[in-house]
Amino acid sequence: MRNPQLNRHGELIHLLSIEGLPRDVVTHILDTAGTFLSVSEREVKKVPLLRGKSVFNLFFENSTRTRTTFEIAAKRLSADVINLDIARSSTAKGESLLDTIANLSAMHADMFVVRHAESGAPYLIARHVAPHVHVVNAGDGRHAHPTQGLLDMYTIRHYKRDFTNLTVAIVGDIVHSRVARSDIHALATLGVPEIRAVGPRTLVPGDLREMGVRVCHDMAEGVRGADVVIMLRLQNERMSGAMLPSAGEFFKTYGLTPDKLALAKPDAIVMHPGPINRGVEIDSSVADGSHSVILPQVTFGIAVRMAVMSIIAGNEA
Amino acid sequence: MSTLALDAEALYAELRAGLRGLLAPDTALVGIWSGGAWLAERLQRDLQRPGAHGVITSTLHRDDFGERGLAGGAGATQLPFEVDGRDILLVDDVLYTGRTVRAVLNELFDYGRPARVTLAVLVDRGGRELPIEPAFAAARVALPPGQRLSLARGDDGRFTFSTRSAA
Amino acid sequence: MKILIANGRIVDPASGRDEPGDLAVADGRIVSLGRVPAGFEPDRRLDARGCVVAPGLVDLAARLREPGHEHEGMLESELGAAAAGGVTSLVCPPDTDPPLDEPGLVEMLKFRARKLSRARLFPLGALTRGLAGEVLTEMAELTEAGCIGFSQADAAVRDTLVLQRALQYAATWGYTVWLRPQDAWLGNGVAASGAVATRLGLSGVPVAAETIALHTVFELVRATGARVHLCRLSSAAGVALLRAAKAEGLPVTADVSINSLHLTDVDIGYFDSAMRLAPPLRQQRDRDALRAGLADGTIDALVSDHTPVAADAKQLPFAEAEPGATGLELLLGLALTWGEAAGLPLHAALAAVTSRPVSVLGPALGSLASSAGRLVEGGVADVCVFDPAARWAVRPEALVSQGKHTPFAFETSGVELPGLVRATLVAGVPAYEAR
């Protein structure tokens, strides 16, 4: 089965998941992101690579933050950006996903940036768009959030340089997290030798081992000696779904506080995909402290998305 | 087809001599990636000019992105000086259609508004598709359209030309 | 009508017969097997040279979508699909719209099916009203109307007290209760728990959903003595529990679908919604155990689990897609494929879809019990003539069924099936003939 993200020359035409991407495709994206980071520092922050192209942001699940970074990235590439608020539009009136795509394609969309509540939705879309149209997955269900995974890798590379001797701990609600899955695939592809998944059994079940991670149910053991600690957002639904008793108990047992952080390496970096829940997964002083690279992640995120969009737009199906 | 024997080192010497008239003390020397960048680096050294030369790439402004995708060299632009109000000399190995220079000019103007921009090349092979002319060319040759000409640099730093038929 | 099926290879799993011969049919019955009776003047002669002449297939699970459900003419097309697949008797579950919980609905369905003169239809009645799992249905009346057993289809009975009472009531008259062993809460995922579901971010159905339900069912069978048929086993652990239950002597039987017998969760690939099935596809070891279970008799029958799904109900993200696949026209080919892979003789592979399903139905078949699913002189002439050597590609557009979704479509699977049906007779009348 050919990976639908790659054309027959092995070039990236859609970004749906980091899974199945050869290492050199991933590093090419990171290298290109570096270029675009410098563009954002110039006086004229635009390049004309996507001029005349229409990028449609299709967010079936709300997210102003992610949508805004994609919009900025597309505009810096000189693309025309159209934001579609699907929740209030025809899909809510019962129009099927594929009918929505067909209607938008008739309006000459060149690229769809899609966020959807169901795993696999971007694959369905990619199977049905015309050959010149490209799809970027901005998050599908629990499955993948590849641009977040890539910007997390860019961040790690920026501060740590060499992936092959790192210990990375991912903490929190991993079983429901598309960010965690994308991070795990990316870390494994780039050769990180120790990837730890840290959390209670309801959020970090044993079968996560099948993804190549070391499962830790003890926070101290999980962050000890880590070079990178990635904290995940805890959602309220976990309490109502009988997976956790309270945010308070989660903070006590798995929250990243200064004393827990002290167990990691002295030069460890702290990451979070955002938005952060202060006092739930992370202590304010850590979020604002010297180890935190949470804000640089956002800057890198724009550059990474510019890289992804310009690479796929330049490759033919 | 006979291959034209171009002596890159000899032409470089010509270029070096010919630039004396174009370079004022505060002219910024900028080489177009990748061949022009090698030339600029060696010129800056051989002419004993203070400061550092600049490198500029056309990658982000090329007009063939739709057909060829993102070309190599993205991120290579390094201009260690203020572009606003500056006198700039662009250097490249081969001038052909002029599209690379057009893209390089767009890239340059993303950084500011130069006072003046001039162009010097090792080889002008004609075939221009845009109104762009060098102030100095060490050689003028005619080559068949299917043939690619580019500068190569050995491990010892010596320049040679390589030709390739775009089959 | 007098028909002579000549020069075929007669294979009857029930008796073990496998030899060349002619089969003569008259007045809906098999007049002779092997040699033609003197003076037999057939109205039609079917040349079965190079073909196998077998009993018509008996499919214990095929949804026909009538009554109710959107599309017109379903009964006609789906019974046509059965005939094209060599299926002469089929059992349909009660999850129609409205469900088969009223004798009038059952009678109407049987009447309409009889008029079409394709396969014989044996409906399962709803175990509880509306399949809601609360109030019992009039099982005696429904049996009189033609139901051969009672079922909840895929809707679990959450209330164990109701389930126990339903089994007790059914046991009063010896009715068989057909149950899907799947826990109501643990069974809510869309893919089998495991590496694939974890990687794809799909909600999982753990094996415990099946084993917990099986334990419950077996305990209630011990307590009530009711006969239970377990529908669509999917796991190795389930097969092991079933084997132990049978060894203990519990009155239970079971079936497995063509999908679970041949596919695993890896086949989901890049979220292919053709693989969205209930029960979900499990792992390699489960598939191996299901195959071994069908071969050694622990699992009694192979079923198509035919479930036609409308075109756009699959054009959705995996979790939202409607589960189900077409199956009537693939049952024979997939039974033969399994038999070949297992190294079984032809009659053993065919037994799983002829004589063994009939023994599951048992006395519920009434007068047909002695001849359905077998070729016997004097018995009903339900016959399937097929070419065992031919290989054919599954092309959805060419299927007779209105359900076009199948994991075995040639375009995606590259699989060719053995066994091309040449003719199907039901009650001695050709219900299907290949062009």
Instruction: Give the ipTM.
Output: 0.86
Average pLDDT over residues C83-90: 97
- Report the share of chain C in percent with pLDDT over 90: 89
Average pLDDT over residues C283-295: 97
Per-chain mean pLDDT for chain C? 94
Give A311's contacts in chain B (Cβ within 8 Å).
69-70
pLDDT value at C108 more than 90: yes
At residue A236, the pLDDT reads 77
Give A44's contacts in chain B (Cβ within 8 Å).
109-111
Q: Do A44 and B61 touch (CB under 8 A)?
A: no
Kindly tell me whether chain A and chain B come into contact, counting contact as 3+ Cβ pairs under 8 Å. yes
At residue C73, the pLDDT reads 66
Beta bridge partners of B161: B151
Give C193's contacts in chain A (Cβ within 8 Å).
207
Q: Do A39 and B111 touch (CB under 8 A)?
A: no
Q: Do A315 and B69 touch (CB under 8 A)?
A: yes
Closest-CA distance, A98 to chain C, in angstroms, reads 7
Closest-CA distance, A121 to chain C, in angstroms, reads 5
B75 touches chain A (CB under 8 A): yes
Neighbours of C, requiring at least 3 CB pairs below 8 Å, are A
Neighbours of A, requiring at least 3 CB pairs below 8 Å, are B, C
Q: Do A119 and C316 touch (CB under 8 A)?
A: no
Give A48's contacts in chain B (Cβ within 8 Å).
60-61, 106
Query: Cis peptide before C98, with omega less than 30 degrees from 0?
Result: yes
Per-chain mean pLDDT for chain B? 90
Q: Do A38 and B68 touch (CB under 8 A)?
A: no
The answer to whether C305 is a known catalytic residue is yes
At residue A94, the pLDDT reads 67
**In 3-state terms, what secondary structure has residue B119?**
strand
Kindly tell me whether chain C and chain B come into contact, counting contact as 3+ Cβ pairs under 8 Å. no
Q: Do A208 and C320 touch (CB under 8 A)?
A: no
Of A42, A48, A310, the CB nearest to B70: A310
B72 touches chain A (CB under 8 A): no
Rounded CA separation A165/A182 (Å)? 20
pLDDT value at B2 more than 60: no
Average pLDDT over residues C383-392: 96
List, for residues C236-252, the tens digit of each pLDDT value.
999 999 999 999 999 99
Of A120, A207, A211, the CB nearest to C318: A120
At residue C366, the pLDDT reads 85
Q: Do A44 and B75 touch (CB under 8 A)?
A: no
Give C195's contacts in chain A (Cβ within 8 Å).
207, 210-211
Rounded CA separation B137/B47 (Å)? 18
Query: Which residue of the set C22, C265, C305, C382 is catalytic?
Result: C305
Residues 24-43 in B contacting A (C-alpha not used; CB under 8 Å): none
List, for residues C201-250, the tens digit of each pLDDT value.
999 999 999 999 999 999 999 999 999 999 999 999 999 999 999 999 99
Q: In C, what residues contact A, Cβ < 8 A?
A: 193-195, 198-202, 269-271, 273, 312, 315-320
pLDDT value at B1 more than 60: no
Block means of pLDDT (10 residues each) for chain A, 317 residues, are 87 94 95 89 86 93 90 95 76 74 86 95 93 95 97 98 96 94 96 96 89 95 98 83 88 96 97 93 96 96 96 90
Residues 103-122 in A contacting C (C-alpha not used; CB under 8 Å): 116, 118-121
List, for residues C12-25, the tens digit of each pLDDT value.
999 999 999 999 99
Of A35, A42, A313, the CB nearest to B74: A35
Beta bridge partners of C229: C178, C253
Candidates B57, B110, B111: best to mutate against A (most CBs of A within 10 A) is: B110
pTM recorded for the entire structure:
0.87
At residue C418, the pLDDT reads 96
